[in-house]
Amino acid sequence: MVIDELFETPELRALMYRVSVEWGLPLDTDGTGTDFLTFLMWTTANWKLVYGGTHSLAKAMTQACYREGVDLIENSLVERVIVEDGRAVGVVARGTEYRANKLVASNADVRQTLLGLVGEEHLSDLWVKRAKAFRYGPSHVLGTPMFCLYEAPDYSSARWDPEINRCFYTAVGYEGPEDMARYIRDAYSGTLPKPAAGVWVNSLWDPAQAPKGRHSATGWYFLPCASELSASEWADVRETFNDRFLDAWQALAPNMTRDNVIAHKLYTPDQMERKVMMREGDFSHGEFVPDQQGVNRPFPEASNYLTEIDGLYLCGPSTFPGGGVHAACGYNAYKKIAADLDLPSPVDNQRSY
Ligand SMILES: Cc1cc2nc3c(=O)[nH]c(=O)nc-3n(C[C@H](O)[C@H](O)[C@H](O)COP(=O)(O)OP(=O)(O)OC[C@H]3O[C@@H](n4cnc5c(N)ncnc54)[C@H](O)[C@@H]3O)c2cc1C
């Protein structure tokens, strides 16, 4: 594996195993290593934090929509895409029909869109087969802990290099690369892994994320798909997992005691599925494996964002390049729409905000 070939220290190998999986390059996938050397090394050095929290980005986007005269209808479940003569001509939401002049674009995933909203009766056998074969998770299924802290973590190893306390991202709870690989494989095979995480103390960089003198930390646990555990098992994870993780954190940063925690909470994959309709809690709306990546995403016939229903486009993370707060799926979908409908190209039409 390219990571073992290039990195000598176990600590760096363990870190690279983890970020490789986070960025969509599963450990057990064969390849040439090119993605790792180009895409991963670049993204790892380009972490970004949204000032004020990610909701401020969502707010900025809605404000930009309002400025452009867009009507946003919130909290309305779309029940159906209206198809007439093989063409998408609108949607039905909460019993109300909304007609579309030119197109319908869906960022619900490909299965939800085609099988749930369009319906098999409007699709060819091939597209039904392809949509049914599209798989969710276990890649990009996460648990997200939040910790409100009196003090930021103060690691024992800061006596050698104080910069450890100001790392943007810290992997906590792993003994080394083998342990990291076991942790990832446990989560992927449906077993609850031991409590360990990649953590960020966002308040170190953005004071707005905690009251003066206090800190807020968040992180990612890799957890099994939502359907792998029962509702009561997930409730137990929410109840106990953060506490168990604190033991691992305290072993490295002695001030991470329960007394240092003002409040904490954990969001689990079953909640992501219920609240945000991310099937299995998969934030990429579809597993990251070679037959569902790149030109195969979501499947080859749908990889240019247009479906076989005229005027119906996909623009969410089940399309290339997948999940993440990068807007690339929507941007690419718009390029296709612009080309089909002779609209301005996004490149020619860029405004400075
Ligand atoms: C725990 C967690 C942590 C993450 N952390 C990061 C991070 O640090 N950095 C990063 O870049 N990415 C992160 N991500 C990934 C990122 O959040 C997602 O990839 C991103 O939200 C996808 O955006 P989206 O709007 O395309 O899809 P979604 O956020 O999935 O939004 C789709 C929306 O469509 C709605 N919807 C679905 N069906 C219907 C319907 N029939 N009618 C009406 N509405 C419908 C859903 O309710 C949902 O609101 C994280 C994801 C999770 C779950």
SS (H, E, C) 215-227: EEEEEEEECCCHH
Closest CA to 19 of 280, 310, 220, 303: 220
CB atoms within 10 A of CB 28: 11
Query: Burial of 61 by CB count in 10 Å (0-12 exposed, 13-18 middle, 19+ buried)?
Result: exposed
Quote the CA–CA distance of 148 and 214 in Å, as a whole number.
8
* Residue closest by Cα to atom 10 of ligand 1: 324
Return the ligand 1 atom nearest residue 284 CA. 19
What is each CA distance from 242 to 143, 226, 237, 266, 268, in whole angstroms?
Answer: 10, 18, 8, 7, 11
Q: Which amino acid is at 328?
A: A
pLDDT at 39: 80
Phi, psi of 309 (to 5 degrees): -85, 120
The residues pairing with 84 across neighbouring beta strands, listed in sequence order, are 87
Quote the CA–CA distance of 323 and 121 in Å, as a whole number.
29
- To test the pocket of ligand 1, the residue of 75, 325, 332 to mutate (highest count of ligand atoms within 8 Å of its CB) is 325
pLDDT at 353: 38
Ligand 1: centre distance to CA 169 (Å): 22
pLDDT at 37: 81
Do residues 223 and 173 lie in contact, with contact meaning Cβ atoms separated by under 8 Å? no
Return the ligand 1 atom nearest residue 329 CA. 26
* Residue closest by Cα to atom 27 of ligand 1: 316
Do residues 262 and 214 lie in contact, with contact meaning Cβ atoms separated by under 8 Å? yes
* Residue closest by Cα to atom 36 of ligand 1: 108
Do residues 103 and 306 lie in contact, with contact meaning Cβ atoms separated by under 8 Å? no
Tell me which residues have their CB closer than 6 angstroms to ligand 1.
77-78, 107-108, 112, 142, 144, 272, 276-278, 283, 316-317, 323-325
Q: What torsion, rounded to 10 degrees, do the Cα atoms 14, 278, 143, 53 define? A: 90
pLDDT at 337: 97
Enumerate the domain spans of the chain.
60-135+300-341, 138-276
* Residue closest by Cα to atom 29 of ligand 1: 276
Ligand 1: centre distance to CA 133 (Å): 21
Quote the CA–CA distance of 296 and 314 in Å, as a whole number.
14
Do residues 35 and 43 lie in contact, with contact meaning Cβ atoms separated by under 8 Å? no
Q: Under the phi-then-psi rule, with left for phi > 0, alpha for psi from -120 to 50, and beta for the rest, what region is 343?
A: beta
Closest CA to 333 of 319, 343, 323: 319
Ligand 1: centre distance to CA 213 (Å): 32
Ligand 1: centre distance to CA 265 (Å): 19
What is each CA distance from 140 to 19, 221, 267, 272, in whole angstroms?
Answer: 12, 10, 14, 12
Peptide bond into 26 cis (omega under 30): no
- Which segments in the chain show pLDDT lower than 70? 348-353
- Residue-wise pLDDT for 193-214, tens only, equals 999 999 999 999 999 999 999 9
**C-beta contacts of 42-47 below 8 A and 24+ residues apart:** 44/19, 47/168, 47/169
The residues pairing with 263 across neighbouring beta strands, listed in sequence order, are 148
Return the ligand 1 atom nearest residue 322 CA. 19
Q: Which strand ranges, in their side-by-side order, compose the sheet holding 215-222? A: 170-172, 197-200, 215-222, 142-149, 261-267
Q: Answer yes or no: CATH 3.50.50.60 is held by domain 60-135+300-341.
A: yes
Do residues 321 and 177 lie in contact, with contact meaning Cβ atoms separated by under 8 Å? no
pLDDT at 350: 57
pLDDT at 351: 52
